[in-house]
């Protein structure tokens, strides 16, 4: 879908769901990372993350568009357009708009390698995510010397 197609879709959704026209600019923004879309207060434009369409499809895209149009129409009318405002929450319910966008990525599921250290005297094991300077620290139980063991994968 192009920016022109998105513009037409937003204008159509605005008329059907809200009964009011959308007369400003709408476009895709590839730089959005954590959100499905955003409404710009300064120029009244709406930016949509293209990943919403790629990952979740048209139905989720229409939901994000409705959410941003709630911000748009309330702000234009001078009513409460923020997430915490009662006007905004009521309009979300009335139009069937989602409060949040579904996650666009898997999230941070990176496996951290653990560094394992052992006391030479009492054999106590210490698991750490970060490396530590073994010359700077001693065992907390017996004050013995600590040595590094190979990190787990």
pTM over 0.75: no
What stretch of H or E contains 87?
helix 86-95
**Given 68, 77, 106, 118, which residue is catalytic?**
68
CATH dotted code for 3-95 = 3.30.2010.10
Domains in the chain: boundaries:
3-95, 115-149
Tell me whether strands 37-39 and 115-119 are parallel, antiparallel or unpaired: unpaired
Average pLDDT over residues 97-111: 71
Whether 4 is a known active-site residue: answer no
pLDDT in the model for residue 58? 87
Stretch 80-96: mean pLDDT, rounded?
91
pLDDT of 86 reads 92
Instruction: Read off the pLDDT of each residue in 47-51 and give the average, rounded to a whole number.
Output: 91
The predicted structure's pLDDT at residue 1? 84
Q: Which of 94, 9, 81, 109 is nearest to 52 (CA)?
A: 9
Give yes or no for a contact between 26 and 1, defined as CB atoms under 8 angstroms apart.
no
Question: Is residue 124's pLDDT more than 70?
Answer: yes
Q: Is the pLDDT of residue 108 over 80?
A: no
Task: List pLDDT tens digits, range 138-151.
Answer: 999 999 999 998 75
When the pLDDT of each residue in the chain is averaged and rounded to a whole number, the result is 88
- Judging by beta carbons within 10 Å of its beta carbon (0-12, 13-18, 19+), is residue 26 exposed, middle or buried? buried
């Amino acid at each position: 879908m192009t920016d022109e197609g998105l513009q037409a879709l937003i204008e159509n959704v605005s008329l059907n769901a809200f009964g009011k026209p959308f007369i400003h600019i709408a476009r895709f923004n590839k730089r959005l990372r954590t959100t499905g879309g955003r409404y710009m207060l300064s120029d009244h434009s709406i930016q949509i993350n293209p990943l919403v369409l790629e990952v979740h499809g048209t139905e989720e895209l229409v939901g994000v568009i409705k959410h941003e149009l709630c911000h748009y129409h309330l702000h234009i009318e001078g009513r409460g357009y923020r997430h915490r405002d009662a006007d905004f929450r009521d309009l979300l319910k009335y139009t069937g708009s989602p409060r949040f966008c579904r996650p666009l990525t898997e999230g941070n599921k990176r496996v951290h390698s653990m560094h394992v250290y052992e006391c030479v005297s009492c054999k106590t094991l210490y698991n750490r995510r970060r490396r530590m300077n073994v010359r700077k620290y001693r065992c907390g139980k017996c004050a013995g010397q600590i040595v590094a063991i190979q990190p787990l994968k």
